[in-house]
Amino acid sequence: MRRNKLVLIGNGMAGVGVIEQILKLNSDLFEITIIGSEPYPNYNRIQLSYVLEGSKTVDDIVLNDWNWYRENGIRLLTGTTVTGIDTDARQVLTDKGEAVAYDKLVIATGSKSFILPIPGADKEGVVGFRDIADCDRMLEAARQKTKAAVIGGGLLGLEAAKGLAKLGMEVTVVHLMNDLMERQLDPAASRMLQDELERQGLHFAMGKQTAEIMGDDHVTGLRFADGTELDTEFVVMAVGIKPNNDVARGETIEVNRGIVVDDYMRTTAEDVYAVGECCEHRGVCYGLVAPLFEQGQVLAKHLCGVETKPYEGTVLATKLKISGVDVFSAGEFIDKPELTIVKMQDDWRHTYKKVLLRDNRIVGGVLFGDVTQATQLQQWIKAGALMTADMHASIMGLAGEAAVTNAAELLADEDIVCGCNGVTKGQIIEAVRDQGLTTIDEVKGCTGACRSCGGCKPLVEQVMQSVLGDHFTGAAAQGICGCTTHSRDEVVAAIRDHKLMTTADVMAQLEWSNPEGCSKCRPALNYFLTMMWPREYVEEKESRFVNERLHANINKDGTYAVVPRIYGGVTTAEDLKRIADTAVKYGVKTVKITGGQRIDLLGIDKEDLPKVWEELDMPSGYAYAKALRTVKTCVGSAFCRFGTQDSMAMGQLLERKFERIDMPAKVKFAVNGCPRNCAEACTKDIGIVGNDGGWEIYVGGNGGIKPRLADLIAKVKTDEELIDISAAILQHYRETAKYLERTSDWVERIGLAAVAQAAVHDLENRKKLVERMEEALTRAADPWQKVIGSPEDKQALFETVKVAPRETAD
């Protein structure tokens, strides 16, 4: 049976959102072609500010990767621009000379940045902020220039300004009006927003009309209508957007400001539809994400022949969340004589709340600083709810024991819960019921809700609670300690998304109940910050455990144990003599050979620790650290008649490479020269076994309180591949494990297959993990450490340890 040809012009969130809904409703109905002008798969445009500030990469904001198109049988044409639509021939014409036939056509070309028509707007150094290419130009400018001006004090302009400031530029926001975000905020909230952003380092030129961009070929400054000037080297235009409707201009498709559509997103041409920022519905062009998904749901059902309510417009709501600045606005927000105003302002806590009533029905609201009631307020505005004493108490923070309406109860199944990813209440309910989901993380993985900014989490919890009742396990959040209800993943996401750089910043951003933290969370935050920002983060020694601060393990009698590094269990007579002399000089009570093939000096007084390390003149073995402890080896092919690989040399190479780098918990290696396994690789975090063909790599072993045999994860032929996969496994562990979680528990929690896919089979991802590990290693390097990379480095190490290298297969 012939399937109808569905062509989508535009590979953005609105259009692909329609395709996603169609695939869920009837995946066999259409033969789908998607044409996109950008060279990327579908990505989340509203998270471009995170890419700009450096907290996310382009890959991080991709919503549907290349495989998604292949798996769903979609023909994708990227880097291709549609030049015309022949509605008589039912064809779409492209700049590549191709004519693509359609039975149904959806136009979702989005919008374009509005560039002010002023002298100098075409100079080098002037950009909009709409796509990845704009982001790249801004990132390049931040590497070469120091001063930037952002023209436009709206939502997009402020996000661009804060991103450039985080990249180290001196940024001035130029705004025609006297109030920031004047289309969403009243003057009081706008003033509070400006004050907060000024505290964070942004500069403002308010009430300024830009008359000219100065410079010859390159931008050198702005000249305003009042004759004043501003020195700048780079200009971002963020004064607004305009529908990208060029492709629809012709005789058969009506175009006003946008492409005119009815309540089912139909244009005036037969079987041609439009959705998103390019269209105009009832005289309105929307520039926010929630209307795009609501339009898309109606269109998808209409195309699939499923009964649906018409699209009747959207009650607009705006959220701004940059660097801890929380702002929400919905519906009406400006005082008028016919409106009743309920308002509360707290300048000490920097919070502001205003609700507007018409005939006692809630018609709008503004929240600043505390937006916990945002979702509930938005639903009340949408429903035109009558204000009650309990609702007033809830919004103004006076609820006490008053019963408050569950916001989820006000939602229809087709209402959007997660605005970032277009997930509806009905989709969450369906996923929970059909797939037995009971936690927020499961819903996030299945539906995408909470996957981006996390602002919808309270509402998602309410939806799940309404379905599961007492079986909902995600309501009582368990944090990383008693100071917070935030999980490990939420803390790491906040550090990344807001580029937090100190433990104090994290605690303030996530509203720790104990603002000083505790002995459990402070070391965890210190690790997360080190892992996320290996170059930028200045380590807080006071957040380390006492053993790590003193570089020694405390004993039960109050003395300390010192363990110098002995690489791969191989030492020299000179080092042994140095250890012995130091032990005698400082009256060490006991000298013990450890299970990790090292020497432990037990019973050292605290005040002698600095002098002991000075006498030893050896790197620490990190017997106290959440780091690589030991690499146990057998004698291998250098001496053993059964040895097939040089385990001593490989053990020392791995130990020198990965020593000192922070891990979620202690890590132990073992390297065996043959399958006889004398170094006991089966009970190590990473175990390596040599054979005639190369090496076997095992992961997740543990010989402690919870014994576990390691799992075989890979077989390799070369030393280089062994080192790369070991690095990738360690980095994946660093990035995804809970703090203090050993690899044995980690492998069981996320699954061996997931670890293997990330660190072994997905070669591109493996490469990125290795690159991030190398980045972290550069920070960890010290005079004792030799980071091994090139063949020359490797050869030099083999010579250093006096073991001839064994040739490996290429």
Q: How many angstroms separate the CA atoms of 698 and 689, rounded?
A: 8
Q: How confident is the model at residue 38 (pLDDT cuts 50, 70, 90)?
A: very high
Return the CATH superfamily for domain 416-471.
Answer: BFD-like [2Fe-2S]-binding domain (1.10.10.1100)
Q: How many angstroms separate the CA atoms of 218 and 277, rounded?
A: 32
The DSSP output letter for 236 is: E
Could you give the count of Cα atoms lying within 13 Å of 44 in the half-sphere of its Cβ?
Answer: 21
Q: Is 418 annotated as a binding residue?
A: no
CATH, range 547-616: 3.90.480.10
In 81-185, the DSSP E strands lie at 82-86, 91-94, 99-101, 104-107, 111-113, 126-127, 147-151, 170-175
Which residues, including other chains, have CB under 8 Å from residue 611's CB and lie 6 or more apart? 586
Q: Shortest CA distance to 442 belongs to which of 425, 461, 424?
A: 461
Q: Shortest CA distance to 356 belongs to which of 367, 346, 347?
A: 367
Rounded (10°) angle between helices 155-166 and 187-199:
10
Which residues, including other chains, have CB under 8 Å from residue 50's CB and lie 6 or more apart? 56, 60, 61, 497
Q: Is 678 annotated as a binding residue?
A: yes
pLDDT in tens, 186-227: 999 999 999 989 988 899 999 999 999 999 989 999 999 999
pLDDT score recorded for residue 410 = 67
Which residues, including other chains, have CB under 8 Å from residue 53's CB and lie 6 or more apart? 162, 163, 166, 167, 499
Contact 671, 658 (CB under 8 A): no
Q: Is 674 annotated as a binding residue?
A: yes
Q: Any alpha helices (H) in 151-203, and if so which ranges?
A: 155-166, 187-199
Range 317-405 has CATH code 3.30.390.30: yes
Contact 51, 24 (CB under 8 A): no
Same fold, 126-239 and 628-800: no
- For residue 30, what is the enclosing H or E element? strand 30-35
Mean pLDDT, residues 288-295 taken together: 85
Please give the structure tokens belonging to residue 713. Answer: 């994860």
CATH, range 628-800: 3.30.413.10
- For residue 698, what is the enclosing H or E element? strand 694-699
Return the CATH superfamily for domain 4-110+243-303.
Answer: FAD/NAD(P)-binding domain (3.50.50.60)
CATH, range 126-239: 3.50.50.60
Residues composing the chain: 810
Please give the structure tokens belonging to residue 668. Answer: 């132990």
How distant, in Å, are the alpha carbons of 324, 351, 483, 494, 515 from that of 511? 10, 14, 9, 12, 8
pLDDT score recorded for residue 597 = 84
pLDDT in tens, 469-506: 766 665 444 568 778 888 888 899 989 888 888 888 88
Q: How confident is the model at residue 321 (pLDDT cuts 50, 70, 90)?
A: low
Give me Rg for the CA atoms of the chain: 31
Q: Is 634 annotated as a binding residue?
A: yes
Q: Where are the domains of the chain?
A: 4-110+243-303, 126-239, 317-405, 416-471, 488-544, 547-616, 628-800
Q: How many angstroms separate the CA atoms of 417 and 443, rounded?
A: 12
Burial class from Cβ neighbours inside 10 Å (0-12, 13-18, 19+) for residue 70 reads exposed
Please give the structure tokens belonging to residue 120. Answer: 């100098």
pLDDT in tens, 671-728: 999 988 888 889 999 999 998 889 999 999 998 767 888 999 999 999 999 999 999 9
